[in-house]
Amino acid sequence: MRPRKLLATVLVTAIFAWVPMAGALTEEERNNIDLYERLAPAVVNITSTTLEHDFFFNVVPRQGTGSGSIIDPRGYILTNNHVIEDARKLEVTLSNGKKYPAKLIGADPDTDLAVVKVDAPKEHLAVITMGSSANLKVGQKALAIGNPFGLGQTLTTGVISSVGRTMRAESGTLVEDIIQTDASINPGNSGGPLIDSSGLLIGITTAIFSPTGASVGIGFATPVDTAKRVVNDLIQKGYYSYPYLGATLMSLFADVAEVLKLPVKTGALVVEVAPNGPSAKAGLRGGSRKAQIGNNIVTVGGDVITSVNGKPAQDADAAIREVRKLRPGDQVRLDVTHWDGTSGSVTVTLGEKPRHTRARQP
């Protein structure tokens, strides 16, 4: 009997040795806690006050909330343009609860990014470090910190669901390389940071796809590399300097090309060329007459851009994307097919896009 009792004691001891101690944290949990404790002080709540008219046309204030990331010890905060758009008053609440009036420094509707600034003691301003979004992998960990529904700072975790998404901003322009994540993003999270497991900023949470208005696990973030490209201009000039081709483009598809009896089936049709603009000076030709195609009236007779700096332009969006990779003052070579069937190329020296210019005029 004694050997059996000893064996039973050994087995019981071994079983309990494999049971985790109550309250023990996994490695992933410890990582989440560490990231939140380190980075939450660098995430702020932004309250914007706009003026609207009520039913009786009285002017009434309306408040909205969003999030932002402190990116500079001087008090510069990165957020979404739609968080601060049309705001008459901005207020920032730090993680310690202190509130400061904020000043809009610069905004770029085309990337839905903006920078605001607060004058707060440096010891109260923790800074989040920008990483890179160039080599993100589907499946890697992603965390979002923000102020959903105005409830105060929260952390949600998930993975990167997809990369290289394309979204159309409210301005009408295409924003490329958008990050998709299943980390919960709810109203109030907009403008907050999306971070990786090392604590680096990889994106700025900007939108969700939801039939209810709440998170269903399909969230989107502007890549940090886009922010790094525009943020210095926003701080120094208040806006980002986009290249300006001075031409209005329309996508040319095969069915339209067939009706118009064009020698090419796809490309970017030049509808209009701005007088004395970069394209006009280079000899690019816009449309000269109207034609009805189905229920649409189309301006025809202009050149068709088939490639930009040697890269095929299957439609207007493809041509615009290539142009937007450049800066004002750069030269761009456009291969074009003329309306009479001949082809050639023009070299355009890009100008700086006027801030009032419509989005479809690159």
Tell me the pLDDT tens digit for each residue of 149-166: 656 788 999 999 998 887
The residue from 179, 203, 237 where one domain ends is: 237
15 is a domain residue: no
In a domain, 268, yes or no: yes
Give the residue from 124, 149, 175 where a domain finishes: 124
User: Tokens 């604590």 sit at which residue?
Assistant: 199
Domain annotation covers residue 5 = no
Annotated catalytic, 119? no
Give yes or no for a contact between 65 and 147, defined as CB atoms under 8 angstroms apart: yes
Q: Would residue 279 show up in a list of annotated catalytic residues for this protein?
A: no
Look up residue 280 and give its amino acid. Answer: A
Q: What's the DSSP call for residue 20?
A: P
Whichever domain contains 103, its CATH number is 2.40.10.10
Q: What DSSP assignment string belongs to 285-335? A: ----EEEEETTEEEEESS-EEEEETTEE-SSHHHHHHHHHTS-TT-EEEEE
Q: Spot the catalytic one: 48, 67, 69, 82.
A: 82
- Please, are residues 77 and 118 in contact by the beta-carbon 8 Å criterion? yes
Enumerate long-range contacts of 228-231, CB under 8 Å, 24 or more apart. Answer: 228/130, 230/108, 230/111, 230/113, 231/71, 231/78, 231/113, 231/115
136 inside domain: no
Do the domain assignments include residue 133?
no
Examine the residue annotation and report whether 82 is marked as an active-site residue of this protein: yes
In a domain, 2, yes or no: no
- Number of H-type helices and E-type strands within the chain: 7, 22
Residue 234's Cα: distance from chain center in Å?
15
Give the pLDDT confidence of 268-321 residue by residue, as tens digits.
Answer: 999 999 999 999 999 999 988 888 777 778 788 899 999 999 999 999 989 998
Q: Which residues contact 185 (CB under 8 A, 6 or more apart)?
A: 144, 146, 148, 156, 205, 207, 208, 215, 219, 220, 221
> In terms of domains, do 212 and 305 share one?
no
Q: How confident is the model at residue 1 (pLDDT cuts 50, 70, 90)?
A: very low
Last residue of a domain, one of 187, 204, 237: 237
Active-site residue identified among 161, 184, 190, 215? 190
Number of structural domains the chain divides into: 3
Tokens for 186?
Answer: 């709810």
- Pick the range with the lowest mean pLDDT from 62-66, 141-145, 233-237, 270-274: 62-66
User: In this structure, are 226 and 281 located in the same domain?
Assistant: no
Q: What is the Cα–Cα distance from 239 to 109, expressed in whole angstroms? A: 9
Amino acid at 146: G
Q: Are residues 257 and 289 both part of a single domain?
A: yes
Domain boundaries, position 273: 243-352
Looking at the structure, do residues 247 and 338 belong to the same domain, yes or no?
yes
- Provide the whole-model pTM: 0.77
Instruction: Please check whether residue 23 lies inside any domain of the structure.
Output: no
pLDDT in tens, 18-61: 445 556 889 999 999 999 999 999 999 998 876 454 544 444 44
Whether residue 111 is found in the same domain as residue 188: no
In a domain, 201, yes or no: yes
Instruction: Say which of 108, 110, 112, 335 is annotated catalytic.
Output: 112
- Looking at the fold, whether 180 and 219 belong to one and the same domain comes out as yes
> In this structure, are 318 and 259 located in the same domain?
yes
> What pLDDT, in 10s, does the model give residues 170-217?
666 667 789 999 888 877 788 999 999 999 999 999 876 654 555 556
